[in-house]
Amino acid sequence: MNYRHAFHAGNHADVVKHALLIALVRALQMKPGPLTLIDTHAGCGLYDLGGDEAQRTGEAAGGVLRAFADTDPLLEDYRAAVRAVNEADEPRLYPGSPRILAGLLREQDALILNEKHPEDARALRQAMRGTAAAVHERDAYELWLAMLPTRTPRGLVVVDPPYEQTDERARITATLAAAHRKWAHGVTAIWFPLKDRAEHARWKDKLRQTGIPKLLAIEHWLHDTDLPTGLNGSGLFVVAPPYAFTQALPPLLEALRTALAPEGHRGKTGAEWLNA
């Protein structure tokens, strides 16, 4: 595995992913029944923004630091999640999805984390000490299906791979289709990078062909024109999002666009139903 998220922790894609994820979990928690939260590609759980990897890229300056400089109250839940792992207001540590999800747990909820790579799994266990999380070290796609249906009536699966494997999108599509057959009412959130528009459009067509209903594509394009290399944006595919989440989505996306747009760019956000 060549990808290391420590180089990218707190970048614009993390801000979008985690702000949306917090809003999604909050919407699901509007009902009192217990939730099972499953993170299939959990990573290390906690990242040092002052470390060599993060400092080498400086990507947090265009992400979490912009979100902290912004005053929009719609981003306050996100900022609070980052503050929760820091002693001071200024973010020095950055929480990955596992720590953010752990911070959202109610007493009746459960959190299942998975990280296949031994070094990252050890770091994850260290980062999750004192939380109620169960940590696994398995193939992400095998675990995804093995954990379904969840023990609680409702749940959320978060899928956040590094997209280094050429067949990653195909594996996600196939596993999502199989998961839907086992767990038709479940909520799934799949993070994706936006690099090539044509490739992304082809993937959306493949997802449409699964026939999975209530499949929402949420996109945040960072630049007005695509860069030839690097990350042009990111987003989430969400299966069966709750109504409260979809209603709150437009102003939240606008807040993210405004906070993260690089100088000289407006950026663009949007959401579309692939299968309503």
DSSP label of 16: H
Residue-level pLDDT at 43: 95
Residue-level pLDDT at 186: 96
144, containing H or E segment: helix 140-146
Residue-level pLDDT at 48: 95
Residue-range domains of the chain with CATH: 5-275 (3.40.50.150)
- β-strand partners of 111: 37
Residues 3-26 pLDDT 10s:
568 888 999 999 999 999 999 999
Choose among 96, 142, 97: nearest CA to 116. 142
Burial (CB < 10 A; 0-12, 13-18, 19+), residue 149, is: middle
Residue-level pLDDT at 58: 87
Report the distance separating Cα 12 and Cα 237, nearest Å.
17
Q: Are the CB atoms for 155 and 109 separated by under 8 Å? A: no
160 is catalytic: yes
- The residue annotated as part of the active site, out of 160, 167, 224, 226, is 160
Residue-level pLDDT at 53: 87
| Residues whose CB falls within 8 Å of the CB of residue 37, separated by 6 or more in sequence, listed in order | 25, 101, 104, 105, 109, 110, 111, 112, 155, 156, 158
Residue-level pLDDT at 89: 83
Phi, psi of 185 (to 5 degrees): -95, 0
Residues of the chain falling short of pLDDT 50: 1-2
Choose among 18, 88, 48: nearest CA to 259. 18
Confidence (pTM): 0.95
Phi, psi of 207 (to 5 degrees): -70, -35
Residue-level pLDDT at 2: 40
